[in-house]
Chain A
């Protein structure tokens, strides 16, 4: 196996060698940024099409437009291209086209956006066509050389054969000729049941460098003449700098410059980051904390609470007259839940390297959306897009933080503008990263169910009060006061984020209340809290009416067969019809979002002293099509870590206008000793394409919370769990 541990296998972050790239698109990666010898000696090869380059030695370079942040879609997308290309998988490498190249070629690679679990589902069609088109051109080139009909030729494993004559050639030998052909107008894609590479449990293409330390993340980039910057933005949201005594640190060793960044931040530039950071630590800064200095989470919770009964709510989903049904019901169940702000806390803090001159601006950064990073860079550089370029590096975690807003890129460019021609690497400290996140929105939810004499739900009203991500990130997408993303998982029947339950009458509405804390898309987005609210409340109704939580769900989900199928799969695997072992208690949850159907059953125990142990979670996912089941399993397991970290520990609270949690000391996350065993059922039912990076997060917390209720009788309605005692009364 050691022989496979060569960096030849993966060239992603180094964009391969300039020689293998499209003529006219030289990538000015400075030598140090590239692995020495990566693809060295490779003869320049033209691309067969935008997605495929074949080198004379039959190495296939597959272009990947979407970012790789751990979710594995770099490998999955390569599988989809290779499936249609009929190439030798052992000789597949990948590279990232740059955002600048994409713009220059009329966005030939489509969107670079890597969020919302869209990486594969939204590009699968055109990347497969890219592979199929390249295969047809390679076969045509061989057929032309042999003067035989292409239809008589067969391609497999990068080898083209002409069975009637026994002739044989390889992709590498005909790639140059293929590149000159006109692409076929029509391509037919394989039926997924005939897949040989896609759908298989293939190893990732990007593992080797990650276990040897050779993988270059943004933090690790080296460029000649590089200087380093540390930054401090006003800790109070909306505050500004009053004064900075730069002279106090200019004599410190290595310090080159003190730069004001906008009106709220200051950076120190030094030869090393450590010297920049330590100088910044002692830099005298006077702040004007501004109007938000008295803000607190506690005060904002009161605003949210008032929103639960306010009259200004916008309807997201409605059928029948739920208010009337509830008013007329002989019995009601009502509960109020809440969900706090969270920080993404990527392991690699925000960072970017920028080099600016009046003629050109280049940025090297881990980003979930290279094109958005390019737009941010150009704006900050005050240069046209065509004079800017962004080189994507693999991300040390993204989770939504590195997608929509590129605040750190703007900062890096602003600093670099003060030092024309010098590459400046800006690295946020963990503390800066914690205090200046784009936080999971804060909401509360009041659920009211009307019950008839038999205990059946006659109407359900779900009032969400709280923060809108779109209002903070893409306000232009708010229409008539409505942020549709707020209703994730609660939408009417349809292909995206639909509610799986049918009620005689239903009203789901939202009273928008936005605090000064900037919101962001946080892995799982609004599905996270909506699934907690609904799935825990359904559990409450089940217990209030003496029904089995699974039986009640089945009754309400009769019209949602896909939702029901994953739930049933989980129930069957966990053995719901038989009692768990003594001391073990179960909780269920299900939801639908990012195009996929998911369910989970958690098995927990709670000791008399309140210690929670999560023993096992059984999870099921129906993503329509499963491109790499072993990576889907990895995403499902990881989703439980992310979701349970939030459920157990995660909250960012505001006091005196600033976030209180500034490191993992106060923002704890799940560690290995708490991690339950996870059994994942991947059950693609075909006919649609769903994402897998996020949906499971949403069922993590409610499954565990419902199991905790079963174990203790305690209904936890506001997170995180660390604020509650599970001790036996």
Chain B
């Protein structure tokens, strides 16, 4: 059976070669954090990293992904939501319905790896994901907060957390 390297583990799957990677992740490997939004690579809800490159998996035939390529999904981005992007997202209450947010986070994490201190123009170019709830301004604020030298306080949202902290 063919295999994929997902979140540090080699896992076999049983799917037709042209099956999009998205559906293998979701239906064969049970990794449902990666979402189906449009099926035509327009919305970005299905974004994962393949060897660090943000990839829209709804149009990527699974057979074109080699077992030597390392796939990271939202489930593998960090053990407990401790990735700086996830922390910034939680600190600033970015998600509304949340459905597009895992794709957003994967895109943002890849952006920050490539550009540790992105400009607004960099963010605009990298973050073309669709959010219907309209979280864009908090997404931008969270990316700046997670960037090198950034801080959640700079967003000025003054959100009070249950642990007593304010961001």
B-contacting residues of A (Cβ < 8 Å)?
1-6, 9, 69-72, 89-90, 92, 200-204, 206-217, 219-220, 222, 228, 253, 272-275, 345-349, 394-399, 427, 429-431, 630-631, 633-634, 637-642, 645, 663-665, 669-673, 675, 677-678
Tell me, yes or no, whether B2 is within 8 Å of chain A by CB: no
B97 touches A2 (CB 8 A): no
13 A-B pairs, CB-CB below 8 angstroms? A207-B90, A209-B98, A212-B33, A212-B78, A215-B98, A228-B27, A272-B23, A273-B23, A274-B27, A639-B134, A663-B38, A672-B129, A675-B140
- The answer for the CA separation of A222 and B127 in the assembled complex, in Å, is 30
B97 touches A665 (CB 8 A): no
Contacts of B55 in A (CB 8 A): none
Tell me, yes or no, whether B71 is within 8 Å of chain A by CB: no
The residue in chain A whose Cβ has the minimal distance to the Cβ of B73 is A213
CB-CB under 8 A for A203 and B130, given A274-B20, A430-B37: no
Tell me, yes or no, whether B117 is within 8 Å of chain A by CB: no
List 19 other contacts, CB 8 Å, given A217-B35, A394-B98. A4-B161, A5-B90, A69-B97, A70-B96, A90-B163, A92-B162, A207-B89, A207-B93, A213-B33, A215-B98, A217-B99, A253-B16, A273-B23, A275-B16, A346-B132, A430-B38, A430-B40, A630-B93, A630-B159
Please pick, from A212, A219, A220, A397, the residue contacting B133 in the complex, using a CB distance under 8 A: A397
Contacts of A200 in B (CB 8 A): 160
A665 touches B159 (CB 8 A): no
- The answer for the CA separation of A269 and B91 in the assembled complex, in Å, is 42
Tell me, yes or no, whether B105 is within 8 Å of chain A by CB: yes
- The answer for the CA separation of A209 and B78 in the assembled complex, in Å, is 13
B134 touches A1 (CB 8 A): no
Tell me, yes or no, whether B43 is within 8 Å of chain A by CB: yes
- The answer for the CA separation of A89 and B42 in the assembled complex, in Å, is 40
B16 touches A663 (CB 8 A): no
Contacts of B102 in A (CB 8 A): 210-211, 213
A397 touches B97 (CB 8 A): yes
A-contacting residues of B (Cβ < 8 Å)?
15-16, 19-20, 23, 26-28, 30-40, 42-43, 45, 73-75, 78, 80-82, 86-87, 89-91, 93-102, 105, 123-125, 127-140, 157-163, 165
- The answer for the CA separation of A672 and B123 in the assembled complex, in Å, is 8
Say how far B103's CB is from chain A's closest CB, in angstroms: 9
- The answer for the CA separation of A172 and B136 in the assembled complex, in Å, is 41
- The answer for the CA separation of A522 and B127 in the assembled complex, in Å, is 27
A397 touches B159 (CB 8 A): no
- The answer for the CA separation of A211 and B142 in the assembled complex, in Å, is 12
Q: Which of A272, A394, A431: most chain B Cβ within 10 A?
A: A272
B101 touches A642 (CB 8 A): no
A4 touches B162 (CB 8 A): yes
Contacts of A69 in B (CB 8 A): 97
Contacts of B159 in A (CB 8 A): 201-203, 630
Say how far A90's CB is from chain B's closest CB, in angstroms: 4
Q: How many A-B residue pairs have CB under 8 A?
A: 223
CB-CB under 8 A for A213 and B80, given A90-B163, A274-B19: no
Contacts of B40 in A (CB 8 A): 430, 663-665
- The answer for the CA separation of A641 and B32 in the assembled complex, in Å, is 27
A203 touches B93 (CB 8 A): yes
Please pick, from A396, A669, A673, the residue contacting B97 in the complex, using a CB distance under 8 A: A396
The residue in chain B whose Cβ has the minimal distance to the Cβ of A677 is B137
Please pick, from B15, B36, B96, the residue contacting A634 in the complex, using a CB distance under 8 A: B96
B82 touches A2 (CB 8 A): yes
B91 touches A669 (CB 8 A): no
B162 touches A211 (CB 8 A): no
A642 touches B132 (CB 8 A): yes
Q: Which of A9, A219, A394, A638: most chain B Cβ within 10 A?
A: A638
The residue in chain B whose Cβ has the minimal distance to the Cβ of A202 is B160
A641 touches B80 (CB 8 A): no
A210 touches B98 (CB 8 A): yes
B27 touches A273 (CB 8 A): yes
Say how far B4's CB is from chain A's closest CB, in angstroms: 15
Say how far A648's CB is from chain B's closest CB, in angstroms: 13
Contacts of B162 in A (CB 8 A): 4, 9, 89-90, 92, 202-203
- The answer for the CA separation of A665 and B59 in the assembled complex, in Å, is 14
Say how far A34's CB is from chain B's closest CB, in angstroms: 14
Contacts of A275 in B (CB 8 A): 16
- The answer for the CA separation of A212 and B38 in the assembled complex, in Å, is 21
B99 touches A347 (CB 8 A): yes
Contacts of A1 in B (CB 8 A): 87, 90-91, 161, 163, 165
B27 touches A212 (CB 8 A): no
Contacts of A633 in B (CB 8 A): 157
B74 touches A213 (CB 8 A): yes
- The answer for the CA separation of A89 and B161 in the assembled complex, in Å, is 10
B27 touches A669 (CB 8 A): no
- The answer for the CA separation of A502 and B97 in the assembled complex, in Å, is 39
The residue in chain B whose Cβ has the minimal distance to the Cβ of A630 is B159
The residue in chain B whose Cβ has the minimal distance to the Cβ of A635 is B96
Contacts of A222 in B (CB 8 A): 30, 32
Please pick, from B20, B26, B38, B89, the residue contacting A211 in the complex, using a CB distance under 8 A: B89
A429 touches B39 (CB 8 A): yes
Contacts of A348 in B (CB 8 A): 35, 37, 97, 99
Contacts of B15 in A (CB 8 A): 272, 274
Contacts of B34 in A (CB 8 A): 213
B95 touches A345 (CB 8 A): no
- The answer for the CA separation of A41 and B61 in the assembled complex, in Å, is 43
- The answer for the CA separation of A674 and B76 in the assembled complex, in Å, is 31
Contacts of A217 in B (CB 8 A): 35, 99
Say how far B41's CB is from chain A's closest CB, in angstroms: 10
The residue in chain A whose Cβ has the minimal distance to the Cβ of B23 is A274
